[in-house]
Amino acid sequence: MRQKFSTWLRGIPLRWRLTAWYVFLLALILAGFSAFIYFNMSRSLKQGLDAVLFSQGEQVLSSLDNENGLLRLDPELPLLPGTYFGIYDAGGKVLDTNMPGDLAAGFQVKGFTAMQPTTVEIKGVEWRILLVPVKEKGQQPCWVLVVRPVEEAEGPLDRLLLFILIAIPMTLVMAAGGGIFLARRALQPIDEIAAKARQISATDLSRRLDLPHGNDEVGHLVATLDEMLDRLDRAFQRQRQFTADASHELRTPLAVIRSEAEAALKRPHSPEEYRQALKVIRDQAIWMGNLVAKLLILARSDEQQEKLEREILNLADLVEGVTAEFQGMAEAKGLELVKVIKENVNIYGDQTRLTQLLANLLDNAIKYTPAGKVVVSLERLGKWALLVIKDTGVGIPPEHLPHIFERFYRVNKARSRAEGGFGLGLSICEWIVRAHNGKIEVESSVGQGTAFKVWLPAS
């Protein structure tokens, strides 16, 4: 039942729910405020009625006359309209009164407390009474009872209650109309956002909401959605480009393998020719295997499925070891491989991935440096370990620097393919650095060389 009610409630349009909550809260506020006014007015009217009783009681006492041992009230005493009095002896007998009919006999003064206003009901009518003791010398104790109808206090209360019962529903009806209008106006930008969003499809994420907005909650929502669409658009573009580039890279080796196989099957060949064809097929298969392995690394990194085996590492020893492995490659090209490494630079990271990072950067530096030297430096700067691999190679033109870490991006496609490059090495390097909560930067000048700076958190 509760779940059905929740489902039904969620099916109600938001503007109606907002209006209902607004009217409900307003009803609570009005009810509380009206109750406060009603009870305070009731208390004030009763206090005013009691004050009149005390005032009239004093006036009655001051006007009493003693005639032949009997107390009488001046008949010309100017009392307020609606004020009645009765003079009673100690036994409760009426000595004098201005009350109509047998009303005076209905009051049992022996049951009342002196000087304390009380409400009693006589013949269906409520009266507010005050019993005042009278003590005259040589006279038996007696009482003066001052009476006023409660109706004079309850009449304004009844009128106030009637006004409240009429005014609150009318106010709530007008508030409901105003609430619906305000909710519609407030939610209109949401409707516009929804209408615009329906026009954006997965195949065309270039469109934006582009709605006029200010520095309010709706404006922040529109800006956030546009930023999200920008990120999705870039992600889809990268995905499409990635798929297209991967297909393009695999097309050439597959074509080579197919042509070699068809040529070998078309007519008989010598064992050496078959061996040469198989060698070409093997090389292309190895090349595709390496490409697929790197694509798998990037795909798993995108899905955050590539886990790092972190441990405390002496980055100086790691850099020393990897640099030593590339010493022969540098000497074969006539390059000088220089190491400027500070000791005891420790980080918390994955040794395998960091080795891959260094190997990729060193391989690129040596590969694209025709002559000169490659300098590998490592130092600690505050909370960071700074690794710099700088070469004196051909450099990278400025227009290529913003794209250097994109997948399958090559500054010189022909040369990179000839030397066995995929255009994925730097993308993998960027992922490795990002996975270690670091950052990688590149500085380059054409004809002067390139410097890659890797910042990693030191431990």
**Mean pLDDT over residues 46-52, rounded?**
87
Distance CA 269, CA 264 (A): 7
* Residue 159 identity (one-letter amino acid): R
Q: Which of 323, 325, 419, 407 is nearest to 370 (CA)?
A: 419
**Is residue 419 predicted with pLDDT exceeding 60?**
no
Residue, of 128 and 111, whose pLDDT is higher: 128
Q: Domain residues of the chain, as ranges?
A: 1-198, 217-302, 310-457
pLDDT (tens digit, 9 = 90+) per residue, 291-311?
777 777 766 666 665 677 889
**Is residue 96 predicted with pLDDT exceeding 80?**
no
Residue 150 in 3-state DSSP?
coil
Q: From edge to edge, which strands make up the β-sheet containing 384-391?
A: 336-341, 373-381, 384-391, 449-457, 439-445
Full-model pTM: 0.49
Structure tokens, 26: 């307003």
Which residues have a Cβ under 8 Å from the Cβ of 402 and sit 6 or more positions away? none
Q: Read off the pLDDT band of 31 (50, 70, 90).
A: very high
Structural fold of domain 217-302: Helix Hairpins (1.10.287)
**Mean pLDDT over residues 370-383, rounded?**
91
Question: Residue 166's pLDDT is what?
Answer: 93
CB 169 within 8 A of CB 177: no
**Is residue 418 predicted with pLDDT exceeding 60?**
no
pLDDT (tens digit, 9 = 90+) per residue, 162-190?
999 999 999 999 988 888 888 887 777 77
Q: Which of 65, 108, 60 is nearest to 88 (CA)?
A: 108
CATH class of 310-457: alpha beta
To the nearest 10°, the Cα dihedral for 453, 456, 458, 459?
-160
Question: Residue 441's pLDDT is what?
Answer: 92
Question: Residue 76's pLDDT is what?
Answer: 67
**Mean pLDDT over residues 416-427, rounded?**
63
Q: Read off the pLDDT band of 451 (50, 70, 90).
A: very high
Question: Residue 30's pLDDT is what?
Answer: 93
pLDDT (tens digit, 9 = 90+) per residue, 333-348?
999 999 988 877 899 9
**Is residue 69 predicted with pLDDT exceeding 70?**
no
**Is residue 205 predicted with pLDDT exceeding 70?**
no
Question: Residue 204's pLDDT is what?
Answer: 65
Residue, of 126 and 34, whose pLDDT is higher: 34
Give me the chain's average pLDDT, please: 81
**Mean pLDDT over residues 112-116, rounded?**
82
Question: Residue 3's pLDDT is what?
Answer: 64
pLDDT (tens digit, 9 = 90+) per residue, 241-291?
667 666 766 777 788 888 888 888 888 888 888 888 888 888 788 877 777
**Is residue 5 predicted with pLDDT exceeding 60?**
no
Q: Read off the pLDDT band of 416 (50, 70, 90).
A: very low
Q: What percent of the chain has pLDDT over 90?
A: 18
Q: Which of 347, 352, 346 is nearest to 308 (CA)?
A: 352
Q: Read off the pLDDT band of 231 (50, 70, 90).
A: confident
| DSSP run (H or E) holding 125 | strand 125-134
Q: Read off the pLDDT band of 32 (50, 70, 90).
A: very high
Structural fold of domain 1-198: Beta-Lactamase (3.30.450)
Q: Read off the pLDDT band of 376 (50, 70, 90).
A: very high
Residue, of 6 and 328, whose pLDDT is higher: 328
